[in-house]
Every structure is written in structure tokens, then in C-alpha cells.
């Protein structure tokens, strides 16, 4: 049909009708709130590159959890910042690591919180890479996955509800699944950072986590954003090895990868609205160039529209509050 018989604006003019026919929704149940827990600090500290986000001591990390839960957010992912680092990232898989202690602490104060842990060595190694290094400086993939699996097991035994490996080593999902299963944790799910790109959007996070590599970069194991077909290989391998949820990281610049995962796999799909995305919105809002609330919500709805079931976002508590205000 052609104009004037067909007028798409008929469905847009009345706000009541717009609300009736929308097919993309967003709720606090879709959101996962990332938190940074730091060893050997007594008070929370602002993260300069991420306005509104803080470094939390173990003894107080339940406070942002409880506050977010009052707003309707129930899921959290913990990133640990240790007090000491070494070549093997030994604090990462210690049963008394900063993340393990945080898990036990939060569980005491917020027993209903759904706790996920990031599983990666980069914040724990003195060289800042996500795996062990050989003498020539290259990544030793196979020895790395053993340590990564031990890290996941330590978190699970400390009370994690889910583990989320973000290292991008080949075979790490299978190694984690095998070690969890042999230790009686067959029901613990794995959310895999399956399509994690070597992105410039991670800058603020690396300040927050103290995880920037000392030499080189991560392009030898994180994915090249110029190679689109690579994502299908990663998705398929992770599912075969035992992943329960597939994640795409970063978010807004990679919605095609979210859509690719959604169209090809029946499992839940997650996406990470990373630190650079968050901080750019915050910075532009502080300048008065954009409306923070409008832009943050629009970007999250775009991720849902692309097919994401779950969104990791630093905006989680704010978004939950905004959604509640919209209902009232």
C-alpha cells in the first residue's frame, strides 16, 4: 500500500496506544549490577573515571547491594581488587581472596541477593594479563585455564550463585565445568564472556580494577572487532563446553553480535554495557550535552531490542528507580 492509505503515524499519535503496542520491555529483573570490592581499605572511595561508582571494602560491600535490592535489582557481579599481585595471580584462587570474603559477607547481610563473580586473572597478576605468561611474553593458554578453573571453584565454594569467566582463554569453559562438576557443583551455572572484544571502551574499568596490562595488549586473546564471523565460533564452542548463558561485551557498538547470538541460540543472552559506555554518558550529561536518564534508558532498550535477556550495567540502581518512577 502507498500513502495516503497507509499511515504509520496512526499508531504513534496517542500515547495510550503507543504503550499498548510496544514490544520491547525493560525491568530491574533484566539488570546485573557490577561492584568493585577492594582489599585492605576501610572506607568506600569514588572511582574518578566512573562517576557514581565506588571501590568498596569487604566490610561495607553489602550496602550498595542492599540499596539496589530495595529498588528491585537482585543480581550483582563482583570484581575483586587484591592488595598483592604476583606472576601467577595466586590471590585469584585463594579460598580467602577478597571476592570470597565479599561473597560470605554479602550472604550474611543480603541472603536473597543473586551473586555472580567475574573469573579472570588480570587484576591479580603483576603483569596485568588475563593468563599466565611464557618466558617470551606470550600467553600460556593451557596452564592458565587450570588456574582460572580453580578461581571459579573457590568462588563457588565461597557462595557464588554463578561464575562468569571473562579471560577469553580457549577451553576455559570446559575446564571450569569439569572442576565444578567433580566437586559436586553440577547445578552452578556459567555465564561466559563469549564474544569479548579487544575494545577501547574498557578504559575506565581498568582504572577501577587496576587491571591494565603492563606490556602489550590483549588482542592476542580478546576478539578483533573487524572479524565478525569469529563470534559464531566462540558461541558454539562455549555452549559445547558447558556454558549456560552467552555474553557479548561491550554493548552498544556490538548489538549485531547480540542479535547474532539471539537468532542462533536458545539459551539466555547477556550483554555488558561497559565502563566506557557508562562514563561517556555520565561525562556528556555533566556537560549538559545529553539527558542522562533518556540516553541511558534508550541504550538499554536498544540492547533488549537486539535480543539481550540480561544487561550488566553500572546504571542498574538508577534505572530501577527510573522505571519505578515511570510507573507511579
> Which of these is catalytic: 249, 259, 282, 327?
249
Can you list the alpha helix ranges (DSSP code H) found in the chain?
15-21, 62-70, 98-109, 141-158, 172-182, 203-209, 230-241, 255-264, 275-286, 292-306, 316-327
**CA triple 295-285-201, angle to 5 deg:** 70
277-51-281 Cα angle (round to 5) = 30
Active site residue 196: yes
- Is 287 among the residues known to form the active site? no
All cell numbers assigned to 100 = 570470597
Phi and psi at 189, nearest 5°, equal: -80, 160
How far apart are alpha carbons 204 and 276 in whole angstroms? 6
Q: How many residues does the chain have?
A: 328
Closest residue by Cα to residue 206 from 290, 323, 123, 102: 123
Residue 280 in 3-state DSSP?
helix
| Rounded distance between C-alpha atoms, residue 248 and residue 263, angstroms | 14
Is the CB of residue 192 less than 8 Å from the CB of residue 243? Answer: yes
Marked catalytic residue, from 54, 71, 85, 196: 196
C-alpha cell at 69: 535490592
CA distance 68 to 37: 16
Tell me how far the alpha carbon of residue 239 is from its chain's centroid. Answer: 18
CA-closest candidate to residue 194, choices 247, 233, 232: 247
Q: Quick one: 230 exposed, middle or buried, by C-beta within 10 A (0-12, 13-18, 19+)? A: middle
User: Is the backbone peptide bond immediately before 4 cis, with ω within 30 degrees of 0?
Assistant: yes
Residues belonging to the active site: 196, 249
Amino acid at each position: 500500500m502507498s500513502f495516503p492509505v497507509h499511515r504509520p503515524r496512526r499508531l504513534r499519535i496517542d500515547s495510550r496506544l503507543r504503550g499498548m503496542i510496544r514490544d520491547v520491555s525493560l525491568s530491574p529483573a533484566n539488570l546485573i549490577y557490577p561492584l568493585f570490592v577492594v582489599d585492605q581499605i576501610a572506607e568506600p572511595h569514588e572511582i574518578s573515571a566512573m562517576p557514581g561508582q565506588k571501590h568498596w571494602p569487604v566490610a561495607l560491600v553489602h550496602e550498595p547491594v542492599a540499596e539496589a535490592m530495595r529498588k528491585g535489582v537482585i543480581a550483582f557481579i563482583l570484581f575483586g581488587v587484591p592488595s598483592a599481585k604476583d606472576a601467577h595471580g595466586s590471590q585469584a584462587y585463594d579460598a580467602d581472596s577478597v571476592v570470597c570474603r565479599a561473597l560470605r559477607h554479602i550472604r550474611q547481610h543480603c541472603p536473597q541477593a543473586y551473586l555472580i563473580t567475574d573469573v579472570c586473572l588480570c587484576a591479580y597478576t603483576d603483569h596485568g594479563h588475563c593468563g599466565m605468561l611464557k618466558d617470551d611474553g606470550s600467553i600460556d593458554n593451557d596452564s592458565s585455564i587450570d588456574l582460572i578453573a580453580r578461581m571459579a571453584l573457590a568462588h563457588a565454594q565461597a557462595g557464588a550463585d554463578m561464575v562468569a569467566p571473562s579471560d577469553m582463554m580457549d577451553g576455559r569453559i570446559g575446564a571450569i565445568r569439569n572442576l565444578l562438576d567433580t566437586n559436586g557443583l553440577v547445578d552452578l551455572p556459567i555465564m561466559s564472556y563469549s564474544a569479548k572484544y579487544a575494545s577501547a571502551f574498557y578504559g575506565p574499568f581498568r582504572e577501577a580494577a587496576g587491571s591494565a596490562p603492563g606490556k602489550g595488549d590483549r588482542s592476542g586473546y580478546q576478539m578483533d572487532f573487524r572479524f565478525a564471523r569469529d563470534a559464531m565460533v566462540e558461541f558454539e564452542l562455549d555452549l559445547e563446553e558447558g556454558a549456560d548463558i552467552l555474553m557479548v561485551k561491550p554493548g552498544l557498538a556490538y548489538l549485531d553480535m547480540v542479535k547474532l547470538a539471539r537468532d542462533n541460540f536458545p539459551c539466555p543472552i547477556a550483554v555488558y554495557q561497559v565502563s566506557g559506555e557508562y562514563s561517556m554518558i555520565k561525562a556528556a550529561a555533566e556537560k549538559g550535552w545529553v539527558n542522562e536518564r533518556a540516553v541511558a534508558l534508550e541504550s538499554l532498550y536498544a540492547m533488549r531490542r537486539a535480543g539481550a535477556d540480561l544487561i550488566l550495567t553500572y546504571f542498574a540502581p538508577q534505572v530501577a528507580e527510573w522505571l519505578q518512577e515511570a510507573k507511579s
